Amino acid sequence: MELLLLIVLSLSAKFSFGFSEWTHEMVLDGEGILRVQWMAMPGGKVIRFKVTGRTLGWMGIGFSPNGGMAGADITLLWVQDHTGTPHALDMYAKGEERPVLDDKQDVTVESGQQNETHTDIVFLKYLQDCSYNGQDFPLGEGTVRLIWSWHPEDPEGKEDSWTPKYHDRSRRGTRSVYLFSPPLENNLSPAEERNFKKWDILSPDVEIPSDRDTLYWCKIFKVPPEIQARPHHMIGYVPVIEADHEVYVHHMLLYECSLPAHSKLTSSGVFEKYVSHAGAPCYAPNMPISWNYCQKEIVAWAVGSEGEYLPERVGIPLADEHRGATYMMMEIHYNNPTLQKGIVDRSGVRVYYTEELRPIEASTLLTGHKVTFMQVLPPGRPRFTSHTICSEHCTRQAIPEDGIKVFQVFLHSHLTGREIHVRHFRNGKELSPIASDAYYDFNYQQAHILPKPVTVLPGDILLTECVYDTTDRHNVTLGGFSTREEMCLAFLKYYPKLEFDHCLSLPVYESYMETLGIQEFYDLEDFRIRDYQSLNLEDETDETGKVESPLAVESSLIRKESNVLKTHLIVKEPEDLRNLSFYEILHQTDWNPKVSEKLQFRFLHGKHIPICRKTGQQLYDYPKEVEYPDVSEISYHKCLKASGTRPNFTLSFTIAFLFLFPLHFLH
């Protein structure tokens, strides 16, 4: 029966897809020696792989919980010299040592061949359920660390005692992938390329500072004249990174600039004067007030991402006259951890757009933790969670009766982030997560393309939760814009387009006070959420022209917020803590497990401050504090929950049969 099944699966793949039509493809190493292609087979419980290598020896690919050998699920591949017999062995690594055979072989070789220089092997891998037996790693819908290696010679031994010869460091590595994500539709044919227009939005010779590791640079851009003249839709984007600058460009965001509906000013009157300027450090004193109205993200790129393309019926409108925005602000986060000197950057994004309007217009909703120094992560914790809420009060006010459909999610945190989950609740019951990544990789931040759109209705609750590992930190980690600080964000692309763009939260200040024994701060109300409507554009002065380079900037938001913690947020009671700053208390606290767990409990069971915004303005018709829902801890790792490890024969055979004979039935 299993032999028949393998024949059916193989034939279905050959006839329906063709040997070269794989849904995913990746070059694993910098020299192009190893390439892997794959596709999920009908039934969803088998993956078909093809590995091609510039070697006549063995090749290995595996799946690892952390990118290392220990605990990795490895497939060893080679075509035997002299006989030409292809082999695929299911192995695992107990530690940083040679892998050994699995007790049960869950891979089957389909074909393999060699020429004078290359080896390629096609094999099937059966997927396990959620239980991890230490040999077969459960593959889920989030990030998977794919490890690879190769050797110029075949393994030693024979039959059940094959042993791969040791590979040196130059012949191994790791790449992060989404195995089950629908393919990114960015392999455009030349004809498609000609049909889409391009708009390159590039930074204007930004000098990356060498005296600090972080710079956020912002600049205002204006859409091309033809976009203003007649309607166009944005349909995708790709990064344009200057050669050899991949290490410096961490993420890029493109925001629409829109004034509040009640404003008497026009976008051109406010933003036009900045188009010719080189820009300014984001969130710094020299950044004009009006740039705070550039807050709806339509592009969110981060390191590891290839870009994004919208579904074929979906577009994002451009220009004020056509339900979009005429002015955009690009924000680039530069990371220079080794403090290199003399780096001048011209990176950015290439936006694809078309005048062939699509029937569905999309937008972006930002959920997660407000970026603020009040996000506190205790040190030395292997698992600490930031809990955030997009409350039912907000969705009930902002989402229409028919709801919105989320079709793509971009998850983002920094160096200590290990998991990110967007949980979904309706009428007190938890639905399947909208997006979930149990093995988040800071260096691989590709958007999650959902298999099918998820409907969010008014009154639904979205919990964006980030899990961090701070075991290598000796003091608290605060939220902020630096890579060494933390974030917890999810950018949800949805349709139909609404003026609904922010649904964030942060724990109330009392959560920290109760944990750390603080009874009262002086002037706490001065540090409550600032409403953008309080910004007075008439008082704005153009300061960007005074900024010759990032090095001329005396302070940034990061420094400013640190100073607030050190000099302004001061304890009034109790007496033994009086006049100590919140910063001093955070850094003097003994963050033992009991204290850390108490803070974690307060986040999960305490109140949160919701932040609910339409374009350019705060919504008011909801409580200023909300209770975090009473939810239990769950296993987020979405892996196969089938009772067995083999595909459903009836379904697979039916699909394969239809693939093989569709024309016969039609005629």
Q: What is the length of the chain?
A: 667
CA angle 405, 408, 412 (to 5 degrees): 125
Sequence-ordered list of residues with C-beta below 8 angstroms from that of 584, at least 6 positions apart, any chain: 566
Secondary structure of 272-294 in the HEC alphabet? HHHCCCCCEECCCCCCCHHHHHE
C-alpha 415/C-alpha 377 separation (Å) is: 12
Which of 126, 216, 255, 494 is the catalytic position? 216
Kindly tell me the sign of the dihedral angle through the C-alpha atoms of 375, 378, 382, 384.
Answer: negative
Rounded CA Rg of the chain: 27
For the question of residue 393 being annotated catalytic, the response is no
For the question of residue 583 being annotated catalytic, the response is no
Preceding omega of 496 cis (within 30 degrees of 0): yes
C-alpha 91/C-alpha 95 separation (Å) is: 12
C-alpha 266/C-alpha 252 separation (Å) is: 26
How is residue 106 written in tokens? 């869950």
Query: Where does 233-370 have alpha helices with state H?
Result: 267-271
C-alpha 148/C-alpha 52 separation (Å) is: 12
Q: Which run of H or of E encompasses 431?
A: strand 429-437
Q: Is 129 helix (H, G, I), strand (E, B) or coil?
A: strand
Q: Write the burial class of residue 286 (CB in 10 Å: 0-12 exposed, 13-18 middle, 19+ buried).
A: middle
C-alpha 117/C-alpha 334 separation (Å) is: 41
Secondary structure of 43-112 in the HEC alphabet? CCCEEEEEEEECCCCCEEEEEECCCCCCCCEEEEEEECCCCCCEEEEEEECCCCCCCEECCCCCEEEEEE
Which of 412, 421, 424, 502 is the catalytic position? 412
β-strand 86-92 against 197-202: which pairing, if any?
Answer: unpaired
Name the residue among 192, 51, 24 with its Cα closest to residue 113: 51
The residues carrying an active-site annotation are 216, 412
